[in-house]
Structure 1
Amino acid sequence: MDRKKPLLGTVQETLLIPLYARAVETRKEQALLRDPRAEEIIASIDYDFARFDGLPSLTGALLRTLLFDRWVTDFLSAHPRGTVVEIGTGLNTRYERVDNGSARWIELDLPDVITLRRRFFTDTARQTMIASSVTDEAWAAEVTSRTDGPYLFLAEAVLPYLDEAAVHQVVNLLAARFPGSLLALDTAGPGFFDTQEQHDALSQVEARMRWYCPDVGTQLAHWRPGTETVTAHTLTSLPAPLLAQLPVPYQQMVSALAAQKLPQAEGYRLSLVRLPSDPPLLP
């Protein structure tokens, strides 16, 4: 097999962590999810994935992915012909897992990531890759020229790697160009943010988070009045229906972790927010 090294920037390299998590999980008898494509991709990339073997945060990445998948499924149930925009799509396979056969999908990431992604995926009539920084307004115009709303934006393991000014810029852009849309995002708290050097996965790469937010609902509403939190969770307070579907060993693990009330775990939040319906003026 012709294995090639991934030519990725420092932050972009982190996309390999959840990819490996899905590949490893697929081989387990009691798996949180199965992703054969992730296994295929891992086998064709020349990279030292062994550095991530056995890391607890791989499970955290999988639980986050399951929650984001559920939010997409709920959105498409309500809006079968809506548009899902994955910000920082990486080598995600969410389209393959939860597409409903009629929605539009936009997969956005930096040019080096999209170059890598095109080795494994191709555009279709309903699925389009866009090479752009999320802070570049041009991609939003391309999305509106290709698709109709309503929109669900997914920023999974993306915004914490931007500085606060850039995150503010992204929120401004989404609120102005896609009023009333849903945005799913994850945010780190100060306990998580301050211990990155000791984090099991981040300590294996050079990338570091640059933005933390103890209360994303309050922060986004401050930036864009009218923003509402639809739901918010930690990895230890997942929705009951989702938790009930996990294999029993994982249910027990989440329960045990919840009992410990670790600041790093409790400060890491997964939020679904609705942007204001009336587009405000960009500052």
Structure 2
Amino acid sequence: MTKHGVRLGTVQETLLIPLYGRAVDSRRPDAILRDTRAEEIVASIDYDFARFDELPSLTGAVLRTRLFDWWVTDFLAAHPTGTVVEIGSGLNTRYERLDNGRTRWFDLDLPDVIDLRRAFFTDTPRRTAIAASVTDAAWTDPVASKPAAPYFFAAEAILPFLDETDVRRVVGLLADRFPGSLLTLDTAGPAIVSAQDQHDALSKVDARMRWSCTGPAELTEWVPGLTLLASHTLSSLPGPLYDTLPTPHQEMLSGLARRQLPQVEQYRLSLVRLPAAPGKR
């Protein structure tokens, strides 16, 4: 079988870690996601995935994706014709897992990533790939030109790799162009960013996180009117979601909660609502 070569930038290479995590998880009898599409993609890519074998953070990446899926599912249940935008979509298969047949969907990532995505995913009347940097305001034009409000933006494992100035720019851009929308994101605290050279997965690649955030409450200081709706660590997932996990994963997470490890407790997954437009608050 001919495999697809990988020519990705330094940060973009990190997308292969959660992809592999979902593929490994999918092969387990007690899978969290059962992402068979991820298995197929991994088998079709010419890359040394073995460097990530047996890494505990692979499970963490899958749990993060599961929580983001949970929030997107809630959004689509309430707004079945709304718009979902994946910021830094990588090779995520969230659309394949969650599409309800009515939503508008955009996959946003840098041009080299979108080139690779096109080997596995095809645009449709309801799904569009956008090749651009999230810091370039121009990408918002095609999203706004086909209005299907409300909007849900999922920024999974992307913002911590930007400088704080760029993160502020992105959040401000979303607030200005899509007021009242929902945004999910992950944040990494100082103990994580300072020790990332010892991280089991990041130590295997050259990319490094640049934005250190003590907690998502920082965002409420940046953007007046932004509301923090939920924030979790991997050891404190929402009860209804935790209850759906296979028993071995529940036991593992309970153990993490008891240990209160900084590298776990300072990594947060959050849902925020951007401020409403003036006059609608």
**TM-score, length-scaled by structure 1:** 0.97
CA distance in 1, matches of 2:27, 2:142: 38
Maintained 8 Å contact 1:104/1:147? no
* Structural mapping, 1:1-283, within 5 Å: 1-217=1-217, 219-278=218-277
For residues 89-125 of structure 1, give each alpha carbon's deviation from its aligned partner in whole angstroms, at most 9, with x where no partner exists: 0000000101111111010000000000000000011
CA distance in 1, matches of 2:257, 2:215: 19
Q: Percent identity?
A: 66
Q: CA deviation at 1:127?
A: 0.7
SS at match of 2:243: helix
Maintained 8 Å contact 1:85/1:152? yes
Q: CA deviation at 1:221?
A: 1.5
SS at match of 2:165: helix
Structure 2 unmatched ranges of 5 or more: none
SS at match of 1:251: helix
For residues 121-162 of structure 1, give each alpha carbon's deviation from its aligned partner in whole angstroms, at most 9, with x where no partner exists: 000111110000000011111110123210000000000000
CA distance in 1, matches of 2:64, 2:22: 12
SS at match of 1:76: helix
* Corresponding letter in the other structure for 2:69: D
For residues 45-86 of structure 1, give each alpha carbon's deviation from its aligned partner in whole angstroms, at most 9, with x where no partner exists: 110000000000000000000000000000001101000000
* Corresponding letter in the other structure for 1:50: A
SS at match of 1:160: helix
CA distance in 2, matches of 1:98, 1:162: 28
CA distance in 2, matches of 1:61, 1:11: 16
For residues 23-50 of structure 1, give each alpha carbon's deviation from its aligned partner in whole angstroms, at most 9, with x where no partner exists: 1111111111111111111111110000
For residues 191-221 of structure 1, give each alpha carbon's deviation from its aligned partner in whole angstroms, at most 9, with x where no partner exists: 111110000000000000000111212x211
CA distance in 2, matches of 1:215, 1:19: 26
* Corresponding letter in the other structure for 2:268: R
CA distance in 2, matches of 1:95, 1:133: 20
Q: CA deviation at 1:279?
A: 5.6
Maintained 8 Å contact 1:175/1:279? no
39-48 vs 265-274, greater mean Cα deviation = 39-48
Maintained 8 Å contact 1:177/1:279? no
* Corresponding letter in the other structure for 1:120: F
SS at match of 1:146: coil
Maintained 8 Å contact 2:216/2:231? no
Query: How many residue pairs were aligned?
Result: 279
CA distance in 1, matches of 2:274, 2:232: 18
CA distance in 1, matches of 2:111, 2:146: 19
**TM-score, length-scaled by structure 2:** 0.98
Q: 1:178 to 1:65 in 2, by over 3 A?
A: same
Maintained 8 Å contact 2:85/2:152? yes
Q: CA deviation at 1:264?
A: 0.9
